[in-house]
């Protein structure tokens, strides 16, 4: 399984992903799910992947190959030179569609699932911070003020805290704490989501990454958040009004 969460607030974008993949409970591995692309001072983009790993790796290869080829031939459109973030999401969707077309029939014929989804978060100079969720069919939706975050993978355990906390005016600091708490709740309840984590933060109008950090299992800051949250829940619990008549 996977858990990736991305938040778009007025101040920028915050993304957090785990690194655990599994094919059955007895086949666990570690793969990075967040990938970053930037032209410093012009744009910074993060993509986060869930679903069939062979599909998402191939989509990522397509994107990288285009970037490499565009060094020779600047006419080639890539997520690093395209006009808008919306166009970048389209390019990810195009790559998804092409990869699905090649592999999906065979994968499904053999009884496996080819579904995958990819979040695309970033900002280019002249545009606003944008967050998109690209589906297996290459279609996509964009986060808005009403729904300022997306989750992929096992989203349920970590959703209640985001529902309560995240609004467009949430600060990057608070959004970062929220995604950490959301991930912590998911890891506690779902064995197939696990450390280490990848945290990516893009501050509005910086056109580079404020943070690209791997959070290891022994990370003291994350452990402190986890402990403080547990303590806060217990304290909040003690202070709840009585319900028994």
24 lies in the binding site for a second copy (CB under 8 A): no
Q: How far is the CB of 7 from a second copy (least distance, A)?
A: 13
Q: How far is CA 217 from the centre of its chain?
A: 19
* Interacting positions 209-238 with a second copy (CB under 8 A): 210-211, 213, 221-222, 224-225, 228-230, 232-237
| Binding segment toward a second copy, per CB under 8 A, in 38-46, 70-78, 86-94, 151-159 | 151-159
- Cα torsion for 151, 86, 98, 51, to the nearest 10°? -10
Shortest reach from residue 2's CB to a second copy, in Å: 15
Instruction: Confirm if 48 and 4 have CB atoms less than 8 A apart.
Output: yes
**What is the closest distance, in whole angstroms, from the C-beta atom of residue 63 to a second copy in the complex?**
28
**Among the candidate windows 5-13, 61-69, 110-118, 155-163, which touches a second copy by CB under 8 A?**
155-163
Residues 169-189 as b/e (b if ≥16 CB within 10 A, e otherwise) read ebebebbbbbbbbbbbbbbee
The yes or no reply on residue 189 touching a second copy (CB under 8 A) is: yes
Place of tokens 């993978």: 153
191 binds a second copy (CB under 8 A): no
Q: Does residue 200 bind a second copy (CB under 8 A)?
A: no
Query: Which one among 13, 45, 89, 161 touches a second copy, defined by CB under 8 A?
Result: 161
Q: Roughly what angle, to the nearest 10 degrees, separates helices 53-72 and 85-109?
A: 130
Query: Which residues 80-119 are close enough to bind a second copy by CB under 8 A?
Result: none
Positions in 120-149 near a second copy (CB under 8 A):
none
CA–CA gap between residue 115 and residue 105 (Å, rounded) = 12
Residues 6+ apart with CB under 8 A from 157: 185, 186, 188, 189, 190
Which tokens in the block code for residue 151? 């989750």
Candidates 26, 72, 218, 242; binder of a second copy (CB under 8 A) is 242
HSE of 215 in the Cβ direction (CA atoms, 13 Å)?
25
Query: Between 109 and 240, whose beta carbon lies closer to a second copy?
Result: 240
Residues that bind a second copy (CB under 8 A): 154, 156-157, 159-161, 163-165, 172-174, 176-178, 180-181, 185, 188-189, 201, 210-211, 213, 221-222, 224-225, 228-230, 232-237, 239-245
């Amino acid at each position: 399984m996977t858990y990736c969460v991305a938040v778009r607030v007025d101040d920028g974008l915050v993304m957090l992903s785990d690194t655990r993949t599994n094919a059955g409970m007895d086949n666990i591995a570690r793969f990075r799910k967040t990938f970053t692309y930037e032209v410093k001072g012009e744009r910074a983009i993060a993509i986060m992947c869930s679903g069939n790993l062979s599909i998402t790796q191939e989509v990522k290869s397509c994107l990288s190959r285009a970037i490499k080829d565009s060094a020779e031939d600047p006419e080639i459109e890539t997520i690093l030179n395209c006009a808008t973030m919306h166009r970048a999401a389209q390019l990810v969707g195009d790559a998804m569609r092409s990869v699905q077309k090649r592999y999906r029939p065979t994968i499904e014929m053999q009884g496996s699932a080819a579904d995958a989804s990819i979040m695309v978060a970033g900002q280019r100079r002249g545009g606003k911070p944008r967050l998109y969720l690209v589906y297996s069919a290459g279609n996509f939706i964009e986060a808005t003020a009403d729904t300022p975050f997306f989750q992929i993978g096992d989203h349920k355990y970590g959703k209640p805290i985001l529902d309560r906390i995240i609004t467009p005016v949430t600060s990057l600091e608070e959004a970062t704490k929220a995604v950490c708490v959301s991930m912590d709740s998911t890891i506690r309840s779902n064995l197939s989501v696990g450390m280490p984590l990848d945290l990516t933060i893009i501050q509005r109008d910086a056109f580079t990454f404020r943070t690209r950090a791997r959070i290891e299992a022994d990370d003291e800051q994350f452990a402190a958040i986890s402990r403080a949250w547990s303590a806060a829940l217990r304290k909040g619990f003690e202070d709840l009004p009585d319900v028994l008549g």
